[in-house]
A and B are shown apart, each in its own frame.
Chain A
């Protein structure tokens, strides 16, 4: 049928080859990433990105595939992390046999257990009620974590040492690179697992529940049961992510079960794109970059994160993944050439305006927060005096030029884009009819 050829981006006859290539490339990227980014701190960033990717993917099982907006997903990953770290401590003390490689599984099982426990209550309802009850549960668990210091370690959390037991093939998990490969391994099989889930009947039904729960009931499936099972599986993968973060940081605190972390994964997943399977992976990369690395460069990182998020919600609610896929679709139909001239002009002017805005925000932050240390600051590599008007004038000029130009080219761009989209949709409709 024609629909099949349109689903895959490659049109080789043995359809599975495309799948092999994509997964193969994914594995390859995971293996060679640390060789490209080989500074010390980059390894820990890559490891963090890895754990957040699993977390985001598990969250998207609920949000993107099931339409369940949850504000408390950190409960599963956090509790998984706590169980994992206690298992590690027990294993170091010798009371239990559990090699470090299997620890994420402990986390996963714990996450699954709590998914079974809490999920029963939360999935009874849907929509806003579901969101509110997850918020209540995460606040509850977070508050409880400070009340039971025996298990949760109080304010300081629980720490551990991941170097225990006999090294297998010389792997002790002391150096960060070994931890990275452990995370990459678990990331790979978790991704396969979650992708496989989308291809199962449950995965399809939960999509249907997202789109039209009433109809699903009429077709004969129990929506609550579907949601419950999906939550349990999602909790399992979230627990794996928690276990990996316990190994990576060697410390788990109450923050792992906080509403802040739940909000964070929501933000990242949404920025990445909830409508596509790989969206949360992009979201994880951007999210970790924004929260961990940007704060090293600028004090205004929270502002940038918030504004970026709002812009995404307003203009690209499908996330970055949707932007990429839309452009890919245009390219597939051979119409990219028409869009490209307008696209690069618009992007360039937007970039110029952005530089102007960033300059102004940075200077403003410096003026209000740091001026006692002198009014000069380092901006894009050169010293700028924030009290003098020159810096401001340059920024204002950049903003004006960029903004005006963007406004002009945007009209042309949206016109061409609209034409192209209509043509493509027309083609799809005709081909499908």
Chain B
């Protein structure tokens, strides 16, 4: 019982972190049709900025300042970089962000070195939140979940209840019309890109001290967020939430299961040994396969339901 509950909680918190990361990506994609390969690099940037700022001013100022800084950088990138590539089509835009991710990792390494940096959890958040049977659930995880939920709620409110949110939603599907109505659509694009990057930066601030802050952190998380965005449906925020929770819980539970086809056959009475044909496949336990489950999910979704769980547009 304890194990199931704790694993469920862990899965949910991991899923919410994934959501924080991929929400920005979904927004940018639904807005501009650009799949931002450098998104994970903005996540890394947020973590490093938070490390630098919290060293001088403390964690709480960093929580607000770092995402803003990352958002500003994102807006710059859009204005001076992406915009000039926009006229060449979608593939060059993708490639631009691809090259950008390389460059950002190099710059971070240049400034902060190649080793991991000690970005610590603030002492007031360090410690157990509650104890479930004998396992403690760390307070910081609870904090992460709280921030993620707050973020979701605030995005939803901004997009649906404020004027700028309505303009953004309109520009999503009818940019020319919106421009004809007198709104500065390129500026809206810049805002959305900056906002998406700021969200990634916030995820970095929160996640950087829970997991190690190092130059390799962008690469390790980069592919998973694409899976989330695609599985959830490119363009749907709620879909991204569902997909990240699904993947988070799936991966966390899968690790716990030590069953394989071999055990299944053994349970059914058959015997599987090293001489059986296909033994290397049969003896793989679910826990060993756990890390590739998201990719299998990605491939399956793309084959059977390309627009994702809740997507409204495809490709």
A contacts B directly (C-beta below 8 A): yes
> Which positions in A face B, CB cutoff 8 Å?
69, 121, 124-133, 135-137, 139-140, 143-144, 147-148, 150-151, 259, 263, 266-267, 270, 300, 302-303, 305-307, 309-310, 313-314, 317, 364-365, 368-369
Chain A residues within an 8 Å CB radius of B296: 140
Report the minimum CB–CB distance from B258 to chain A (whole Å). 15
Chain B residues within an 8 Å CB radius of A314: 81, 84-85, 96
Contact B99 A133 (CB under 8 A): no
CA of A129 to CA of B35, assembled, Å: 11
Contact B99 A309 (CB under 8 A): yes
Chain A residues within an 8 Å CB radius of B96: 310, 313-314
Given contacts A136-B295, A266-B98, A314-B81, 7 further A-B contacts (CB under 8 A): A136-B302, A139-B223, A259-B223, A300-B106, A306-B106, A313-B92, A369-B114
Knowing A132-B226, A302-B106, say if A140 contacts B99 (CB, 8 Å).
Answer: no
Chain B residues within an 8 Å CB radius of A303: 102-103, 106-107, 110
CA of A127 to CA of B103, assembled, Å: 26
CA of A328 to CA of B124, assembled, Å: 67
Contact B94 A133 (CB under 8 A): no
Contact A133 B315 (CB under 8 A): no
CA of A303 to CA of B106, assembled, Å: 6
- Does B90 interact with chain A (Cβ within 8 Å)? yes
> Which positions in B face A, CB cutoff 8 Å?
35, 81, 84-85, 88, 90-92, 94-96, 98-103, 105-107, 110-111, 113-114, 223, 226-227, 230, 234, 280-281, 284, 288-289, 291-292, 295-296, 298-299, 302-303, 306, 314-315
Contact A136 B280 (CB under 8 A): no
Contact B84 A143 (CB under 8 A): no
Contact A368 B111 (CB under 8 A): yes
Contact A127 B315 (CB under 8 A): yes
CA of A128 to CA of B91, assembled, Å: 9
Contact B92 A317 (CB under 8 A): yes
CA of A150 to CA of B144, assembled, Å: 41
The interface centre, meaning the residue of B110, B280, B288 with most chain A CB atoms within 10 A of its CB, is B110
Chain B residues within an 8 Å CB radius of A121: 299, 303
Chain A residues within an 8 Å CB radius of B95: 266, 270, 309, 313
The contact of A132 among B90, B100, B107, B298, by CB within 8 Å, is: B298
Chain A residues within an 8 Å CB radius of B230: 132, 136
Contact A143 B35 (CB under 8 A): no
Contact B110 A368 (CB under 8 A): yes
Contact A306 B102 (CB under 8 A): yes
Chain A residues within an 8 Å CB radius of B103: 303, 306-307, 310
Report the minimum CB–CB distance from A259 to chain B (whole Å). 7
The contact of B292 among A125, A143, A305, by CB within 8 Å, is: A143
Contact B292 A365 (CB under 8 A): no
CA of A125 to CA of B234, assembled, Å: 15
Chain A residues within an 8 Å CB radius of B306: 125, 129
Chain A residues within an 8 Å CB radius of B113: 368-369
CA of A108 to CA of B128, assembled, Å: 57
The interface centre, meaning the residue of B84, B102, B296 with most chain A CB atoms within 10 A of its CB, is B102
Enumerate the 6 nearest inter-chain pairs by beta-carbon distance, A residue then B residue, closest first.
A306-B102, A306-B103, A309-B99, A136-B298, A303-B106, A143-B292
Contact B85 A143 (CB under 8 A): no
CA of A129 to CA of B29, assembled, Å: 13
Contact B102 A124 (CB under 8 A): no
Chain B residues within an 8 Å CB radius of A124: 303
CA of A18 to CA of B145, assembled, Å: 68
The contact of B280 among A148, A317, A369, by CB within 8 Å, is: A148
Knowing A147-B289, A148-B280, A305-B102, say if A125 contacts B298 (CB, 8 Å).
Answer: no
Knowing A139-B223, A147-B289, say if A310 contacts B295 (CB, 8 Å).
Answer: no
**23 A-B residue pairings within 8 Å (CB atoms):** A69-B91, A69-B94, A121-B299, A126-B315, A128-B90, A129-B302, A133-B302, A133-B303, A136-B295, A139-B292, A140-B296, A143-B291, A143-B295, A147-B292, A300-B106, A302-B106, A303-B110, A305-B102, A306-B100, A309-B98, A368-B113, A369-B113, A369-B114
Contact B102 A135 (CB under 8 A): no
CA of A121 to CA of B306, assembled, Å: 12
> Which residue on A lies nearest to B302, using beta carbons?
A133
The interface centre, meaning the residue of B114, B296, B303, B314 with most chain A CB atoms within 10 A of its CB, is B303
CA of A259 to CA of B84, assembled, Å: 28
Report the minimum CB–CB distance from A286 to chain B (whole Å). 14
Chain B residues within an 8 Å CB radius of A151: 280
CA of A307 to CA of B95, assembled, Å: 12
The contact of B299 among A127, A133, A307, by CB within 8 Å, is: A133
The contact of B85 among A125, A129, A313, by CB within 8 Å, is: A313
CA of A137 to CA of B107, assembled, Å: 30
Chain B residues within an 8 Å CB radius of A69: 91, 94
CA of A306 to CA of B103, assembled, Å: 5
Knowing A129-B306, A303-B103, say if A135 contacts B223 (CB, 8 Å).
Answer: yes
Contact B227 A136 (CB under 8 A): yes
Report the minimum CB–CB distance from B97 to chain A (whole Å). 9
Report the minimum CB–CB distance from A144 to chain B (whole Å). 7
Contact B302 A132 (CB under 8 A): yes
Contact A310 B315 (CB under 8 A): no
Chain A residues within an 8 Å CB radius of B94: 69, 131
Chain A residues within an 8 Å CB radius of B280: 148, 150-151
The contact of A135 among B85, B107, B226, by CB within 8 Å, is: B226
Contact B315 A137 (CB under 8 A): no
Contact A140 B295 (CB under 8 A): yes
> Which residue on A lies nearest to B105, using beta carbons?
A302
> Which residue on B lies nearest to A300, using beta carbons?
B106
Knowing A302-B102, A369-B113, say if A129 contacts B223 (CB, 8 Å).
Answer: no
CA of A306 to CA of B101, assembled, Å: 8
Chain B residues within an 8 Å CB radius of A143: 291-292, 295
> Which residue on B lies nearest to A302, using beta carbons?
B106
Report the minimum CB–CB distance from B152 to chain A (whole Å). 24
> Which residue on A lies nearest to B84, using beta carbons?
A314
Contact B88 A317 (CB under 8 A): yes
CA of A305 to CA of B102, assembled, Å: 8
CA of A267 to CA of B100, assembled, Å: 12
Contact A129 B315 (CB under 8 A): yes
